[in-house]
Structure 1
């Protein structure tokens, strides 16, 4: 796994969390991990998944769409999915 094992999941960037999650999935798919370790890394994978979902939701909430008036000047800003 990556060097971030043992790092608090909430301290990881999205990219690092995804990389570690992919590593966990690969290890579990290979099936060469002892049962106790499988359970442990599966639990960490669940925490990583939740952290990534939270980061994505946060990023989505920050994305805004700028509405332009007829002359092309910004008129208002609203959430992207507020159509």
Structure 2
């Protein structure tokens, strides 16, 4: 499932739970689905972050290569 689809479904779940008009058993089931979607979105974001690179430049501003975005 794409990040966008998972996020949209997660937003729908949050709206239903915030309204408070869902029976308890259904609330528990959709909450569990929401947790699974949250984990899926987190995994997709972490994978995307790992692919992001920053362009290194020399003293004149010319690109000379890349390096990971979060170098610690």
Task: Output the TM-score relative to the length of structure 2.
Answer: 0.90
Structure 1 unaligned blocks of 5 or more? 1-11
Match of residue 7, structure 2, among 8, 13, 18? 18
Alignment-derived partner of residue 52 in structure 1: 41
Structure 2 unaligned blocks of 5 or more? none
Match of residue 53, structure 2, among 64, 67, 74? 64
- Identify, as 1 or 2, the structure richer in helix: 2
The total of aligned residue pairs comes to 72
Aligned equivalents of 2:62, 2:50: Cα separation in 1: 23
Task: Output the TM-score relative to the length of structure 1.
Answer: 0.79
